[in-house]
Chains A and B, each alone.
Chain A
């Protein structure tokens, strides 16, 4: 059974940093292209970024609002995906989902507020 479990969310002040993790199981993580998607309270879905598998180059793509502030990485030995978020803004407040194109985690809430 595929499982994606996000962690690391919480309350952070504007300008602060946070690192989210996504523990994956039930599939060959090293072969998967992984994506982060976020959803602000009461709003629609927003694509954040994607990391390819290492065999496909391991490269990353980011949405314009987070480019140069957020960094995705992966540790295939730990079956874990990461999202390092720096220079956080109030508009980054959202539930962050870890996604394997067909499966979604339950999300972790990030609140950016003073």
Chain B
């Protein structure tokens, strides 16, 4: 069974920079896994942030960026704002079947 692994929790100061990662149990993550990133705040439906590794949606703030880093998919937040405190999920595709990571709870403190 394929497992996608994210950091369970991270803490960042307002204005700081933080990188969340997404690893695959099958090996290095490449663009062929079409990494997606989503943000979810308590009591809300998730919101799409990044698709196909690094592409932003029209509503994605400029401070969010996606990339591949050291064999993992990565989501970097630069100039973190208090409203960025949320759960972040990555999604990878394996031959058409999607698998979410367990999520990273980002605390802005």
Listed in ascending order, the chain A residues whose CB lies under 8 Å from chain B are 35, 37, 44-47, 50, 61-64, 97, 101-107
Q: Is the CB of A45 within 8 A of B1?
A: no
A47 and B46 CA atoms in complex are apart in Å by: 13
Q: Is the CB of A44 within 8 A of B48?
A: no
Secondary structure of the B contact surface, majority rule: strand
The residue among B1, B38, B46 with the most chain A CB atoms within 10 A of its own CB is B46
Contact indicator per residue, chain B 31-75, by CB within 8 Å of chain A (1) or not (0): 000001010100001111001000001000000000000000000
Q: Which residues does chain B contribute within 8 Å of A103, judged by CB atoms?
A: 48
Listed in ascending order, the chain B residues whose CB lies under 8 Å from chain A are 1, 36, 38, 40, 45-48, 51, 57, 87, 89, 91, 96-103
Secondary structure of the A contact surface, majority rule: strand
Q: Is the CB of A44 within 8 A of B46?
A: no
A107 and B43 CA atoms in complex are apart in Å by: 11
Answer whether A62 and B97 are a contact pair too, CB < 8 Å, given A105-B45, A107-B45: yes
Q: Is the CB of B91 within 8 A of A106?
A: no
Q: Is the CB of B100 within 8 A of A44?
A: yes
